[in-house]
Structure 1
Amino acid sequence: MSRPVIICCAVTGSADTPSKNPAVPVTPQEIARSALDAAAAGAAIVHIHVRDPKTTRPSLDLELYRETVDLIKAENKDVIINLTTGTGARFVPGREDPQQPGPGTNLSSPEIRTRHIEALKPDICSLDMGTMNMGDTVFMNTPGHLAAMAEVIGRVGVVPELEVFEAGHIRLTNSMIERGLLKAPHLFQICLGVPWGQPATTEAMVYMKHMLPAGAQWFAFGIGLHQFPMAAQAVVLGGHVRVGLEDNLYLGRGELAPSNAALVERAVEIVKAIGHPIATPAQAREIIGI
């Protein structure tokens, strides 16, 4: 049956992508403008990281988050804002002493990683539900840190978007739900194709979908060339869609995406071609339970 499908746009991320595609926004003004354009193209949710404007590197600066959110809300009060808590989880072992952090490590406390959530109280914030090798680094989210972050998120009334990169992350999430550490509504993001998590395949998405708790709403995405095939697969399987320059820099083979809005427009075409309408922000709030 036809149903409203929510599109989330992941606007910038934290990888070294501005050097690879000049459309990746960096400053609060650029990030906000790109988010607003994505919303105008059909995204009900915009997923926000911030970057140091001088270095383009990921940042935990509260004032950068505040400026970005204020700029979005000044022009569009309806779009659902989803702020990341993923920054501050990278660990690289030191070459001489692996017990000491090497270059690239940005491990931060749960308090620092959720400071902007407590201050700004967005509609949604991401919560990465486990540790994994990610490229050549370790993406470190211990159960204790996740419990501490979940407590802050729940206390300020923000809906956590539970990002799961492999099946074990769902097992941990389900355990935290059963222990009352994660309250309803339960919103999942199935992340596929990230080295070295689950591959971006139909089989992986089906497997992970069937592990989710009853009644959960879920999104899925694939990175790079898998972005649009996984968007279509998520719709067919009853989920919602995430696209954006965080996950994919290309609109087609050899064609750099000119904007986040262009990626959202392609997702809109896919969803409508399968036979579903695009959810408005108001419909998305009702579906998720915000």
Structure 2
Amino acid sequence: MSNPCIICVAITGSVPRKEDNPAVPVTIAEQVESTQAAYEAGASIAHCHVRNDDQTPTSDPDKFAALKEGIEKHCPGMIVQLSTGGRSGAGQARGGMLPLRPDMASLSVGSNNFPTRVYENPPELVDWLASEMLKYDVKPEIEAFDLSHIFQAVKMSADGRLKKPLYIQFVMGVMNAMPVDKEVFDFYVHTLKRLAPDAQWCGAGVGAGQILVNEWSIAAGGHTRTGLEDNVRLDRNTLAPSNAALVERAATLCAKYDRPVATPAQAREILGLRSA
């Protein structure tokens, strides 16, 4: 294969803490520094969350603005993708950063179970977030935790609530949601190609499943996500020293399958994003 592979780095998330791995970046300055190293290692998308001083998650638009500004300054052309996830806020507060007009934002189009709670994405909130993304020209990354989320995203694109072409991320390995399973992964890819042939897709694995989903995605011609949000280890006995180390590992798999690592400019072209 010769098609470039987009590597997304999920730098912080809402759950991992310094106690889990001291390399988890929490402050804005730490996140910008960690993102710059990951960018230099080959990541072209930064998937971003923000935290309070006590490491708890927040949807504070001012913090998102500072992080976006820092990444744009130190990582020229990198795609900034802000999270509208439900761990860091409730209701429309989850989309309070969309007026910042990031390149992309995550969008979950349905509910599912998480390790200790229900991840609620009621239809009216999903529709509001989608409409805000249309309003501010923000491309959604659909986070599919379940097969039904793929069908819902295709339905939303057909009726105009989401712009075409879709970009869908298969999320596998969250406890109580879809496990890391190769046959399920293959069915996801087949189903998306059948329902939305023009869609681009990405695979993200959580915990020990990260490296498996990285390899499956790269080998199948898709894109992939890595980073300390999803996994804080290189292996059972070794903490990942940085986000960059996880990006480097994904880039090595790209070389194994003769997939060039996409530059930020190539990633923007592939995803149909505006120029930096």
Q: Provide the residue aligned with 1:46 in structure 2.
A: 46
Distance in 1 (alpha carbons) for counterparts of 2:58 and 2:110: 21
Output the TM-score relative to the length of structure 2. Answer: 0.95
Question: How far did residue 70 of structure 1 move?
Answer: 1.1
Query: Contact 1:16 / 1:57 at 8 angstroms: preserved in 2?
Result: no
Percent of residue pairs bearing the same amino acid type: 40
* Correspondence 1:65 to 2:64: yes
Q: Provide the residue aligned with 1:181 in structure 2.
A: 161
Q: Provide the residue aligned with 2:151 in structure 1.
A: 171
Query: Contact 2:16 / 2:228 at 8 angstroms: preserved in 1?
Result: no
Paired amino acid for 2:208: L
* SS at structure 2 position matched to 1:36: helix
Paired amino acid for 1:116: M
Question: How far did residue 16 of structure 1 move?
Answer: 4.0
* Correspondence 1:242 to 2:225: yes
**Larger Rg, first or second structure (1 or 2):** 1
Cα distance per residue 1:193-238 (max 9 Å; x no partner): 1112211121111111222222100000111111111111001112
The number of residue pairs the alignment matches comes to 270
Q: Provide the residue aligned with 2:174 in structure 1.
A: 194
Question: How far did residue 245 of structure 1 move?
Answer: 0.2
* Correspondence 1:259 to 2:242: yes
Query: Contact 2:214 / 2:250 at 8 angstroms: preserved in 1?
Result: yes
Paired amino acid for 1:255: T
Runs ≥4 residues deviating over 4 A? none
Q: Provide the residue aligned with 2:98 in structure 1.
A: 117
Q: Provide the residue aligned with 1:9 in structure 2.
A: 9
Output the TM-score relative to the length of structure 1. Answer: 0.90
Q: Provide the residue aligned with 1:83 in structure 2.
A: 82
* Correspondence 1:219 to 2:184: no
Question: How far did residue 28 of structure 1 move?
Answer: 0.6
Query: Contact 1:11 / 1:35 at 8 angstroms: preserved in 2?
Result: yes
Q: 1:262 to 1:16 in 2, by over 3 A?
A: closer
- Structure 1, gaps ≥5 residues long: 91-105
Distance in 2 (alpha carbons) for counterparts of 1:72 and 1:275: 29
Cα distance per residue 1:247-288 (max 9 Å; x no partner): 000012310001000000111111111111111000001111
Query: Contact 1:124 / 1:161 at 8 angstroms: preserved in 2?
Result: yes
* SS at structure 2 position matched to 1:269: helix
* SS at structure 2 position matched to 1:251: strand
